[in-house]
Amino acid sequence: MAGSTSSNAAFTDRTMVVSGGSRGIGLAIALGAARHGANVVLLAKTAEPHPKLPGTVHTAVAEVEAAGGKGVAVVGDVRNEDDVVRAVDTAVERFGGIDIVVNNASAIATEPTENLTAKKFDLMMDINVRGTFLLTKAALPHLRAAGGNIVNVSSIAGVEGEVYSAGYCAAKHGLVGLTRALAIEFTKDRLRVNAICPGGMPTAQTTEFQAPENADWDLIMRIASPRGFMDTADVAKTIAFLASDDAAAIHGAVYRVDNGKGAG
């Protein structure tokens, strides 16, 4: 459970719940914590292999344990309150509490406004904003008891607009706003709330489901993130810092994470 930590040992014997952790940034975060001896509970929908995308929540847990941590898979949808509560209950039953929540589950659609359907717009809002609210609310009593941390994974698109669709930018901006509002609300509590905003990086979601055929991702990402490509390791390192006592005074911050430049 929570205790005095440096940024190099922020996860040792601590319990982290990560939403959307079966692949990509979420898995990188989980593995970064596992290498420092964390207990990791992964909440994700991918129970069975996708025909085109690697990894499930079960293979992710296997990677967590191979990296030196303890892992538990919870198959569920962050939009479903019962699934979210089950993930929190699993963490408490298996590991005795929760020290860190990483709200990483995300949906993206890159269509311009005239082509974006209301269904896709609602999906982005439901996962990025509502899902974050549900997991934060469910874990709150345990985070308070641990003096824990909440880290929300937004995007540069949430603070700058970038090249993505207005709907995606609005959802990620909503997540930034939720972070700041929660930080104000929890000022007197023994917990911290911050957000990180990774720079441009093509993900499984964007490349497989949203990008036009033969999309020039090198060009798109140079436009979207002129500071350069980010690396998933940068995200994990930033979360390690935010979860440590080195960052004890940081609350309500929105960190931009860019390749080679870390947080700023």
What are the residue numbers of the active site?
A: 168
Q: Cα–Cα distance between 161 and 198 in angstroms, integer?
A: 13
198: phi > 0 → left, psi -120 to 50 → alpha, else beta; which?
Answer: beta
DSSP state of 130: I
Is there a contact between 207 and 214 (Cβ–Cβ < 8 Å)?
no
Is there a contact between 35 and 67 (Cβ–Cβ < 8 Å)?
yes
| Radius of gyration (C-alpha) of the chain in whole angstroms | 17
Report, in this order, helix, strand and coil percent for the chain, each rounded to 5.
Answer: 45, 15, 40
Q: Cα–Cα distance between 110 and 112 in angstroms, integer?
A: 6
Is there a contact between 245 and 220 (Cβ–Cβ < 8 Å)?
no
Is there a contact between 65 and 35 (Cβ–Cβ < 8 Å)?
no
